[in-house]
Structure 1
Amino acid sequence: MNTVNKDRIEKAYPDYKHPIEKAFQTGQAHIFSWWSEITPAEKLHLLEQISLIDFTLLQKLFHESFISASDTFRKNLQPPPIIGIPENITEKKAAEKAKQVGEDSLRNGEIAILTVAGGQGTRLGIDGPKGMLPISPINKKSIFQLHAEKICALQTKYNAMFPWYIMTSETNDNDTKEFFCSNKFFGLDQQRVYFFTQRMIPAVDMNGKILMNTKSNIVMSPNGHGGTILALQERNIINDMKERGIKHIFYHQVDNVLIKMADPVFIGYHLKDGAEVSSKVVKKRSPEEKVGVIVSLDGHLHVVEYSELSQEDKYAKNNDGTLKYNAGNIAIHIFSIAFLEKLFQMETYLPYHIATKKVPFIDLNGNLITPKENNAIKFETFIFDVLKHVKKGVLMEVVRKEEFSPVKNAEGDDSPAMAQQDMVNLFGKWLRKAGVAIPKDSNDNVKGFIEINPCFAFDEEDLIKNVAKDLEFRGFLNL
């Protein structure tokens, strides 16, 4: 570790004078400790990194991380109003009316699709973005291809174009773009597929010092899924959407293979109620399921994370014996452009949360250390924090087995194998409604393999219209 001469660095690289000064002013001069040892290319890389860091914000976030959050709001929690799964004639008529409103909006080209796809597939055994994972039951199409085909089907069904905005991370942005290019954008017009990255923020140690994992590289992390909203503003994407006549954004995460893309019923309820933000929810599997729940807090929608919910609230019951706080957040939302524009006028609309993690780093001697205990603080924003600014919101319950199957783990729950079975089971359900006999095993799973291209049938209604009346299932069906 060497003595750092700020003036000499600034003189050699005058274009980076301001961020160099900010690094020194905020007590982060140690990031230049190995300046005399690194190559010119490595120096430029480090300077590029620091030019993107808001050192004042980082200092503020670290000091604020010691202010503990109050739990006094817990007593004000209430279950939120939810549009339930339609069961009787009245509810089914309401859903049909909402669908008509949503379909009108789709035909008018008012909806954009926004997919959050910043994650890597490392835990799933692939070296690349999670969206590249081969997942479909028979043809092994990637998750990205499944989403692309649903958008293609939507465009044909409603005779309209739906721009697709994909938020990547610095880690996987190039790989994602190359994957789309090599697959010719899966038949979509590449001029209507837009990639953008979220902001990265340094990880710091328990003393607030920026961590480095080489002598020329700062440890950076994505700023959380709330970074999607921040990026819409910072990258001027909202204005691009408005120029294309977009009024509402359909938001989802890349790993949900059952996503009902731009669901017209959901869009319809959002529009009919004049909502600013709408969210889909599912019933929790059990009180202990590790999923955030949407509640009502002082008249506003609010997401309480699994770890924040008290044991009493986790197990609280309604009079009919159902869980009181049962609206599981599945990260499917609609955002009104007009609401986001109002949000962007606020000085601070998304607070940062801290997460303590184990992060490899180099010590004062330049040796790489792999910690056994948490040694770092990462700062993240959560998209659902915008809910406190929402005056009018809609929650719509959906059937988990029909709309929510995320791929997060290599095995067990939320694994690729489970996602494939969930797809087969959904297609089997559609076929039964169309009058095709589909056998089940003792676990209520379809016996056999089924895959249905969205361009053949986007949903159950399409399948009933398009499938051959004399179709027989013999254990394998690829439509």
Structure 2
Amino acid sequence: MHDARSLRSSLPSLAVLLEEKPEYAKFLDKLADEGSSRVFPKYLAKATPDALSRFFEEAVGLDFDHIRRHRHALANPIHEVLTAKDLEAVKADPSQYERRAEDAADGLRSIRDGRWAVLIFAGGAGTRFNSRWEQITQATPSLNERMRRGKVARNDPKGVFPISPVEGLSFYQRFIAEVLETGVSFGRLPPILIMTSHVTHDRTEEYLAEAELWSLPSQAVFLFRQDRIPRLDHDGDLLARSDGSLIWTGNGHGGVFGALAKPRKNGLSVAERVASLGVKHIIMGNVDNTAFSPLWPERLGYHLRTKADFTLSVVKRSDPKEKVGMACRRKTDGRIEVIEYSVLDPELSAAPDPAGGLLFDAAHINTNLLRLSALRTDLPGTLYTGKPVAVGCHEVDSSTFEMLNQHLCARLDPERIRLYEGERREIFMPTKALIGEDSVQTTFALETARAAREIAALGGEVAGGPDLPQAWAEFHPCLGATVEEKRARGIGKGWRLEQGSRLYLCVRRGLGEIPPFAPGLQLGENSTFILRCERPYGRLTYHPDNRTVAEHVISAGKVRVGANVRIAAGARVVLDVLGDGRLAIPDGAVFHQGFERVIAPGEIATLTGA
């Protein structure tokens, strides 16, 4: 340990700074007492007084209790390999299938009663995602609309990335659109909670202020930061750059509980605020899982029916080498926990069950449901080592001691922990990279296949078929969450999307009592048809105290696309209906030439073809 006196004598810049700012001397003693003063000779030996001043300004925010736990974990690494004597497999509750209709009804009722909030984990820096940015042109076979307009930046938070296949809605917009549609449909808008970090917060706040959010009330969104923690080197010492800045990271998505419980400027924590609005439960998921499906009624109803404090969403694991946590039961105390693949005995990981699948097949997807009254902040930490970080002109292996939200299970009554199993392609589309496994590339394929299956179910055709479509469709959630709701708006019957064509629709209201779409829409090869309403719900009526919400039909954009309308091969037709504008495209209209047209608020336009 380096004491304050020896540091003053060996580091002239530090001595100069302490002469100018003697208030730092007491904190220097604190650093020495905590064993954290080695950062000076290791990383700040040549730092200027200004750089050292920056270091002290940042270091006053250090949590030394956390650093002590981190160092203890480094000094006492757990090399645990769990075997059959430690664990038993956990399977999905058969009642989730037997009582699905009942659970769905209960889930829908709970949405209408305002019992849910939706929380998005959006604190990650997206290091892997941004590391191969040159691959972005390979990620999709066709640039989406936002990419075409150049509205994508390398270092933006992942939540801002234009992920939807045709329009290029961001991850944030996708989730918000789903929650908004559900809220409008049931008359009660669930609060949208977004947990950011010191890396993602400011840009997320800026983005949400400027993005198209279809009249979403700003009071419905709660933006809050997780705490940050310092990275340590392999000796357990703080890491600092030559400019004096510490190397920080978020405290893991398990930091969500402390962040929810932390009082804000008005004295209330986020948890207290949403509880005051009638929220009893929160569903949480990753920003990069476009299939999050937060308000899936069957899952909500199951969580409520079984009186769960915490419900883990899982999908069936089919590959024993898949790098995913598995829900298991500890034999010692009966607790259900998510066990990382790296600590599970390989033979146990690959063990078959009698039906021919894997015995340990409950793959955790980090979509979890929490009873708000069960919230606790005292989660165990998890040590991560070996991540290189740049310090000056070289790299240093760093470690972190983070929390994972699923480890709340270790603090709760095991009788109140549940698993809910879903179909992988319906609830799990992780997007960790631009190309390859779990990437923009795979998400594009899964999303377009899902839309093609919907069109097929509605009586239409997509080139290449529903499993490997060679044309790409995207429907904004305002068209409805189910196939039946889309059918009621005229989607799909007799439609045909030829090779390379692209379709995006964001329309909710037709003209008068007529649905917005009619049978027979045809898109020729390599054509594009984009039809957007700026206000599909009109000017929403929202009461923040009870979160009731209603669409305002009079002020909504309205459209009628008649029967057998055709967009000719190669034509690009982009139509934007602003405000309460109205647009009619009569039966049989054919558009041979591409064009873009904006229908102004109050305007009534008819397009007969071109």
Tell me the TM-score range normalised by the shorter chain: 0.7 to 0.9
What amino acid is the match of 1:473?
A: R
> CA distance change for structure 1 residues 13 and 467 in 2, over 3 Å: closer, same or farther?
farther
Counterpart contact for 1:279–1:394, Cα < 8 Å: yes
Deviation at 1:37, TM superposition (A): 5.1
Q: Distance in 2 between matches of 1:168 and 1:216?
A: 24
Matches within 5 A, 1:60-139: 60-69=69-78, 71=80, 74=83, 75-83=85-93, 91=97, 94-119=99-124, 120=126, 121-123=129-131, 125=133, 126-139=154-167
In the alignment, structure 1 residue 369 sits paired with structure 2 residue 378 = no
Q: Distance in 1 between matches of 2:68 and 2:439?
A: 39
Match among 325, 332, 337 for residue 367 of structure 2: 332
Match among 198, 203, 206 for residue 178 of structure 1: 206
- Map of 2:21 onto structure 1: 12
- Map of 1:477 onto structure 2: 503
Q: Distance in 1 between matches of 2:492 and 2:176?
A: 29
Match among 485, 489, 499 for residue 466 of structure 1: 489
In the alignment, structure 1 residue 205 sits paired with structure 2 residue 233 = yes
What amino acid is the match of 1:447?
A: Q
> CA distance change for structure 1 residues 400 and 43 in 2, over 3 Å: closer, same or farther?
same
Alpha-carbon RMSD: 2.6
Counterpart contact for 1:294–1:327, Cα < 8 Å: yes
> CA distance change for structure 1 residues 166 and 98 in 2, over 3 Å: closer, same or farther?
same
Counterpart contact for 2:309–2:371, Cα < 8 Å: yes
In the alignment, structure 1 residue 420 sits paired with structure 2 residue 444 = yes
Q: Distance in 1 between matches of 2:327 and 2:368?
A: 12
Matches within 5 A, 1:252-291: 252-291=285-324
What amino acid is the match of 1:250?
A: I
3-state SS of 1:349 partner: coil
TM-score, normalization by structure 1 = 0.88
In the alignment, structure 1 residue 27 sits paired with structure 2 residue 35 = yes
Deviation at 1:470, TM superposition (A): 3.5
Q: Distance in 1 between matches of 2:451 and 2:22?
A: 60
3-state SS of 2:479 partner: coil
> CA distance change for structure 1 residues 390 and 59 in 2, over 3 Å: closer, same or farther?
closer
- Map of 2:60 onto structure 1: 51
Counterpart contact for 1:228–1:383, Cα < 8 Å: yes
Residue deviations 1:288-341, cap 9 Å, x none? 11111111223221111121121111110111211001111111111110111x
Counterpart contact for 1:101–1:264, Cα < 8 Å: yes
Q: Distance in 1 between matches of 2:357 and 2:47?
A: 64
Counterpart contact for 1:356–1:378, Cα < 8 Å: no
Deviation at 1:200, TM superposition (A): 1.4
Give the length in aligned residue pairs.
458
- Map of 1:444 onto structure 2: 467
Give the stretch that moved more between structures: 121-130 or 243-252: 121-130
> CA distance change for structure 1 residues 209 and 3 in 2, over 3 Å: closer, same or farther?
farther
> CA distance change for structure 1 residues 313 and 186 in 2, over 3 Å: closer, same or farther?
farther
Unaligned runs of 5+ in 2: 1-9, 134-153, 264-268, 506-610
Q: Distance in 2 between matches of 1:64 and 1:3?
A: 34
Residue deviations 1:326-384, cap 9 Å, x none? 111111111110111xx34xxx433342323222224xxxxx3225xxx3222211111
What amino acid is the match of 1:397?
A: E
Deviation at 1:5, TM superposition (A): 6.1
Unaligned runs of 5+ in 1: 363-367
What amino acid is the match of 1:23?
A: L
Deviation at 1:393, TM superposition (A): 1.9
Matches within 5 A, 1:284-433: 284-298=317-331, 299-340=334-375, 343-344=376-377, 348-362=378-392, 368-371=393-396, 375-391=397-413, 392-433=416-457
What amino acid is the match of 1:369?
A: H
Give the stretch that moved more between structures: 268-277 or 183-192: 183-192
3-state SS of 2:75 partner: coil
Residue deviations 1:75-101, cap 9 Å, x none? 131111314697xxxx36x11110111
Higher relative contact order (CA 8 A, sep 6+): 1
- Determine which structure has more spread, i.e. the larger CA radius of gyration: 2
Q: Distance in 2 between matches of 1:449 and 1:354?
A: 40
Residue deviations 1:30-79, cap 9 Å, x none? 44565995365x55542332121112431332123222436476313111
Counterpart contact for 1:226–1:384, Cα < 8 Å: yes
Q: Distance in 2 between matches of 1:351 and 1:434?
A: 49
3-state SS of 2:406 partner: helix
Residue deviations 1:242-278, cap 9 Å, x none? 1121110010100011221221111100000000001
Match among 42, 48, 65 for residue 38 of structure 1: 48
Residue deviations 1:133-191, cap 9 Å, x none? 11211111211111111111111111102111111111121111111111155532112
3-state SS of 1:268 partner: helix
> CA distance change for structure 1 residues 464 and 123 in 2, over 3 Å: closer, same or farther?
farther
- Map of 1:365 onto structure 2: none
Counterpart contact for 1:35–1:43, Cα < 8 Å: no
Q: Distance in 2 between matches of 1:10 and 1:275?
A: 59
3-state SS of 1:231 partner: helix
Give the stretch that moved more between structures: 381-390 or 164-173: 381-390
Q: % of aligned pairs identical?
A: 24
3-state SS of 1:226 partner: helix
Matches within 5 A, 1:210-249: 210-235=238-263, 236-249=269-282
> CA distance change for structure 1 residues 43 and 241 in 2, over 3 Å: closer, same or farther?
farther
Counterpart contact for 1:280–1:330, Cα < 8 Å: yes
Counterpart contact for 2:81–2:344, Cα < 8 Å: no
